[in-house]
Amino acid sequence: MPPIDQSPAWKALEQHATDLADSPMRDLFEQDPARGQRFTLEQCGIYLDYSKNRITEQTLGLLIGLAETADLVSWRDRMVRGDRVNNTEDRAVLHMALRNRGPREYRVDGRDVMPDIRSVLDRMSAFSEAVRSGRWLGHTGQCITDVVSIGIGGSSLGPKMVCEALRAYQSPDLRVQFVSNVDGAQLAQLLATLQPATTLFVVASKTFTTQETLTNARSARQWCLDGLGGDAAIARHFVAVSTNRTAVVEFGIDPENMFEFWDWVGGRYSLWSAIGLPVALAVGNECFEQLLAGAYEMDEHFIAAPLENNMPVILALLGVWYSNFAHSHTLAVIPYDQNLRFLPAYLQQADMESNGKRVTRDGVAVDYQTGPVVWGQPGTDAQHSFFQLIHQGTRLVQTDFILPLRSHYALTGHHDKLIANCLAQAQALMQGRTAAEARAELEEHGFDAAAIQRLLPHRVFPGNRPSNLLLLDQVTPTVLGALIALYEHKIFVQGVVWGLDSFDQWGVELGKQLASEILGDLERASCSPGLDSSTAGLVRRSLAAKE
Ligand code: F6P
């Protein structure tokens, strides 16, 4: 296939972007009173209002045409069919099978994967219920009160985000916490608050070779041995989640205490697998199953809905529109929900590790922008830090607002204020404030002509800044599952349009390799010849600090 940016569909969008440049959203809203209803979709407990985008019906039609040119439907079907769509790693991509709740078949090399999935889910359920009910006892016969999940990247960000998002569903009798950083501060500070006799470690690593995770796991094991004596303690205080049985056994964890998953589950798509064990421990298996069910509903929508009514497809194409036709290369994700505070970090990996690529799946360098820079933090805090730039800065930022209509917390008056702030931000970004409006306001406040002249440029908001608003009924396990699956599919669709393999992550390898060489230098207390002068100088300084 010729490069997507050479296609007639791409060229038509370029022309359309020029044509639409003189139609700010404010005008589009005035011209069409039904716009706020027209550009909406509702699915799986999520109401998506995408009317505050620089689009018309024609834009959407052209974007759908681009998706068709990129063969989206065929790629989606290939993924569902178990084809090796992760071509650089020669792997199928079947995280959807992990949450399959219906009759759909998922096969890898002709083999039905559902029996293995169900068997691991059953083991997770039995284990999490045993720990939660107090039937699983530690080495000294005490119940487990604290779980520490040790993992990094996809083996941590997903479960950590979900546990926090579902905090209202957690039992106070079992605290679940996460350690990811190899910086000993994280583990040491946490261990200082725990007792070995009542702590369970979940070592989560797809490969079971990740330096950070193994270093933390070894230190945790030593802490456990120091506190409880004998290797027998490990069997009651360590479980593993991995695809690598040999490495788990080598580490000293009983394979009976290992929960398996498979190479067709990408790390950043793995929270639905046994990597979700901390979630089942934190909120119970029933809630974990509801999370899977919500994702399944979104999967079925993604698989079946026509492109123009397909929520992940629409969200993805809007992102393509800004990245490739409106010079916007950054996406702010702003949940108006404190417990969704780890969602931006989760989406950073999901999106940037998937689509932060510069060559197509065939290895050809692209000539267009691919994945955006993803960032964010919860509103209303975000309003008081970086929103200034989104409103009046020189960069065009795409913003996704995520707003639950009902809170789990009953403090009077708080939730109305949260809703009002979120809706107001989206409104302000869209409509801005003209010079005439700003002038009228200053006059109303009694400013004299000279002051108005001076202040006016600062008080004007250009507006026409795009946002999506994702209204959730409430952050329940089901709705959360659907929300995460929505973003997963959105990322997939964008990867297809850009021609990428969204399921590999070669870009993280070089740093890992060089770190292990530098670590060798630090451990041998010598600086390898051939290092560049900057790195050599920094290594020497690091060695000097150890003396
Ligand atoms: O950062 C690279 C990466 O391979 C991620 O893709 C993955 O989620 C993470 O490291 C952790 O890997 P593992 O689960 O094998 O420890």
Burial 364-395 (b: 16+ CB within 10 A, else e): eebeeebbbebbbbbbbebbeebbeebbeeee
Two tokens at 534? 């900057």
pLDDT tens by residue, 446-487: 999 999 999 999 999 999 999 999 999 999 999 999 999 999
pTM: 0.97
**Does 175 sit in the ligand 1 pocket, CB within 6 Å?**
no
**Does 206 sit in the ligand 1 pocket, CB within 6 Å?**
yes
Q: Strand locations in 117-191, DSSP E?
A: 146-150, 175-179
**Does 242 sit in the ligand 1 pocket, CB within 6 Å?**
no
Q: How far is the CA of 151 from the centre of ligand 1 (A)?
A: 8
Catalytic amino acids?
353, 384, 512
Quick one: 192 exposed, middle or buried, by C-beta within 10 A (0-12, 13-18, 19+)?
exposed
Q: How far is the CA of 265 from the centre of ligand 1 (A)?
A: 12
Q: How far is the CA of 499 from the centre of ligand 1 (A)?
A: 23
Two tokens at 25? 């959203």
pLDDT tens by residue, 61-114: 999 999 999 999 999 999 999 999 999 999 999 999 999 999 999 999 999 999
pLDDT band with cut points at 50, 70 and 90 for residue 527: very high
Confidence at residue 98, expressed as pLDDT on a 0 to 100 scale: 98
**Does 271 sit in the ligand 1 pocket, CB within 6 Å?**
no
Q: What does the alpha-carbon distance between residue 474 and residue 219 come to, in Å, rounded to a whole number?
A: 39
Q: How far is the CA of 187 from the centre of ligand 1 (A)?
A: 19
pLDDT tens by residue, 322-342: 999 999 999 999 999 999 999
Residue among 181, 216, 505, 509 whose CB has most ligand 1 atoms within 8 A, to mutate: 505
Give 481's contacts (C-beta < 8 A, 6+ positions apart).
Answer: 99, 290, 291, 292, 293, 294, 295, 296, 297, 298
Q: Which atom of ligand 1 has the smallest separation from the CA of 267?
A: 8
Two tokens at 484? 């995460």
Residue nearest to atom 5 of ligand 1 (CA): 153
Q: How far is the CA of 445 from the centre of ligand 1 (A)?
A: 56
Count other C-beta atoms under 10 Å from residue 305's C-beta.
16
Contacts 24+ apart (CB under 8 A), 488-491: 488/95, 488/269, 488/312, 488/350, 489/298, 489/299, 489/302, 489/312, 489/313, 489/316, 490/312, 490/313, 490/315, 490/316, 490/319, 491/316, 491/350, 491/351, 491/354, 491/355, 491/371
**Does 199 sit in the ligand 1 pocket, CB within 6 Å?**
no
Q: How far is the CA of 152 from the centre of ligand 1 (A)?
A: 6
**Does 205 sit in the ligand 1 pocket, CB within 6 Å?**
yes
Cα separation of the two ends of the chain: 59
Residue nearest to atom 3 of ligand 1 (CA): 153
**Does 152 sit in the ligand 1 pocket, CB within 6 Å?**
yes
Q: Which atom of ligand 1 has the smallest separation from the CA of 275?
A: 14
pLDDT at 410 exceeding the cut of 90: no
Count other C-beta atoms under 10 Å from residue 534's C-beta.
8
Percent of the chain scoring above 90 in pLDDT: 98
Two tokens at 154? 């996809």
**Does 154 sit in the ligand 1 pocket, CB within 6 Å?**
yes
In 5-56, where does DSSP find H-type helix? 8-20, 25-31, 35-38
